[in-house]
Amino acid sequence: MSMNLSAKLDELQRGDRQLETTVALCEIRTQLQELTKSVESCQSEVSEVKRDMVAIKHELDTVQQVKEEIEELREYVDRLEEHSHRRKLRLLEQGLTLFLSYAILAAVLGMLQFGYNTGVINAPEVNIENFMKDVYKDRYGEDISDDYVKRLYSVAVSIFAIGGMLGGFSGGIIANRFGRKGGLLLNNVLGIVGGCLMGFTKMAHSYEMLFFGRFIIGVNCGLNTSLVPMYISEIAPLNLRGGLGTVNQLAVTVGLLVSQVLGIEQILGTDEGWPVLLLLAICPAILQLLLLPVCPESPRYLLITKQWEEEARKALRRLRASNQVEEDIEEMRAEERAQQAESRISMTELICSPTLRAPLIIGVVMQLSQQLSGINAVFYYSTNLYTSSGLTEESAKFATIGIGSIMVVMTLVSIPLMDRTGRRTLHLYGLGGMFIFSIFITISFLIKVSLNF
């Protein structure tokens, strides 16, 4: 019986060992499966790493390619800058040729016309008022009051500015429709008509004819203020545009001075001579009609507006006295491309745009500072101001000539100072001077009034 028990115990022990072995094998099999999965996962991760490395290598190749392209672009930009610098140097080396000087002289006669008609009404004020009194008395059989004749004279003075505004507004339309040169030539017809109307006023015994003539000549001068600077700036080389821009103002001051000199009593400042003084306004127009047809049309107008490249080249060759005009053509082409790239905006958008508001305000204030400085009142009424201050009429006219002479001299002085000190600095000095001396003028008149009182 004990042997049976021992045998059974041996069998149980062998069964337990087999069971442990089976469990151990199962655990090993499970671990092997997990290890297999881990190996497979590692292989998948390795594959992903390989793909990432391939992608990184591709990106590195792309970066290298982009870097090479950037280097090529940088070299291309450097070459373009060098070419542009050489072209600009060649443009800056262009000088003032004889034919270009002739063209500028012919064109600037329009600004001489403007200056002459601005100042010509000043000196013969008393003579014109006497003429108006005679006409009124012949028409109505009674004497005109001093206040009314002053108002009539004021109309003759101010209607010139009204015509000037009309001409100034239409300058751009005329320039694009008929060209810069063509517009100037057509405008001379208005100058001749206006001058003749003013000159034959006394013969016609009509001060209304004087008003109409002043209006027509005002339109003529307004157009000149648009067309002449436009034409001169477009025919001038790049390096001379700033300096030649002052030629317009110089012509205005010279015209003022000429009208003041001719208006003294020893020349044409008399009851018989003042119609001739006004009639002389036709001289700049006739002279321009004789000189300007020889000059070429604006190359910029021919190339950009009309797209006549060959005609533009011919005009440039005449103006530059050289066949090397490619730099000028390329400059105008670049300007045309820049204009086409710019977006067109309306007047409302211009006023409401925050980015354009500051330049707009600066431009408006610059014009107002000149127009509201009081210089126009001096142009028109300086003789009357001097006579009311106690000078004789003859001395007042000579004092007015002094004003015109100073203006011519200071315009000549400003030409070399413009590039040396800057436009803004010169303008600020001018505004400061006008402010101070306007106060002095006001104080002097207040003292005169208080003494008379």
Asked if residue 304 and residue 198 are part of one domain, the reply reads: yes
Asked if residue 231 and residue 162 are part of one domain, the reply reads: yes
Using the Cα atoms of residue 284, residue 289, residue 294 and residue 297 in order, give the sign of their dihedral.
Answer: positive
What's the pLDDT score for residue 15? 62
**Calpha distance 172→251 (Å, rounded):** 21
Asked if residue 179 and residue 31 are part of one domain, the reply reads: no
Residue 424 forms part of a structural domain: no
Asked if residue 150 and residue 32 are part of one domain, the reply reads: no
Residue 265 forms part of a structural domain: yes
What's the pLDDT score for residue 82? 65
Locate 295 and state its tokens: 């000059």
Residue 366 forms part of a structural domain: no
Asked if residue 194 and residue 126 are part of one domain, the reply reads: yes
Compute the half-sphere exposure of residue 146: CA atoms within 13 Å on the CB side of its CA.
1
What's the pLDDT score for residue 50? 81
* Domain boundary pick from 69, 86, 114: 69
Dihedral pair phi/psi, residue 323, rounded to 5°: -90, -10
What's the pLDDT score for residue 91? 46
User: For the chain, what is the domain count?
Assistant: 2
Amino acid at 96: L
Residue-range definition of the domain harbouring residue 141: 99-335+374-384
Residue 42 forms part of a structural domain: yes
Q: How long, in residues, is the chain?
A: 453
Residue 355 forms part of a structural domain: no
Asked if residue 58 and residue 118 are part of one domain, the reply reads: no
Locate 126 and state its tokens: 């008393």
Amino acid at 142: E
| Cβ contact 125:265 at 8 Å | no
Q: What is the CATH number of the domain that holds 230?
A: 1.20.1250.20
Asked if residue 155 and residue 247 are part of one domain, the reply reads: yes
* Domain boundary pick from 324, 356, 384: 384
Asked if residue 54 and residue 115 are part of one domain, the reply reads: no
Asked if residue 277 and residue 207 are part of one domain, the reply reads: yes
What's the pLDDT score for residue 136? 93
DSSP conformation class of 301: I
* Domain boundary pick from 384, 409, 444: 384
Asked if residue 189 and residue 113 are part of one domain, the reply reads: yes
User: Closest Cα partner for 414 from 422, 376, 96?
Assistant: 422
Asked if residue 107 and residue 190 are part of one domain, the reply reads: yes
Asked if residue 223 and residue 110 are part of one domain, the reply reads: yes
Amino acid at 368: L
Tens digits of pLDDT across the chain (453 residues): 556 666 766 665 666 666 777 777 788 878 888 888 877 777 777 878 888 788 888 888 888 888 888 888 887 777 766 666 555 555 445 667 889 999 999 999 999 999 999 989 988 989 999 999 999 999 998 999 989 999 999 999 999 999 999 999 999 899 999 999 999 999 999 999 999 999 999 999 999 999 999 999 999 999 999 999 999 989 988 777 777 778 898 999 999 999 999 998 889 989 999 999 999 999 999 999 999 999 999 999 998 888 888 999 999 899 888 888 888 888 888 877 877 766 677 778 778 888 888 888 888 888 888 778 777 777 777 888 788 777 888 888 888 899 889 989 988 888 778 767 877 888 888 888 888 888 888 888 788 777 765
What's the pLDDT score for residue 138? 93
Locate 283 and state its tokens: 């001289």
Residue 93 forms part of a structural domain: no
Residue 94 forms part of a structural domain: no
Residue 343 forms part of a structural domain: no
- pTM of the prediction? 0.75
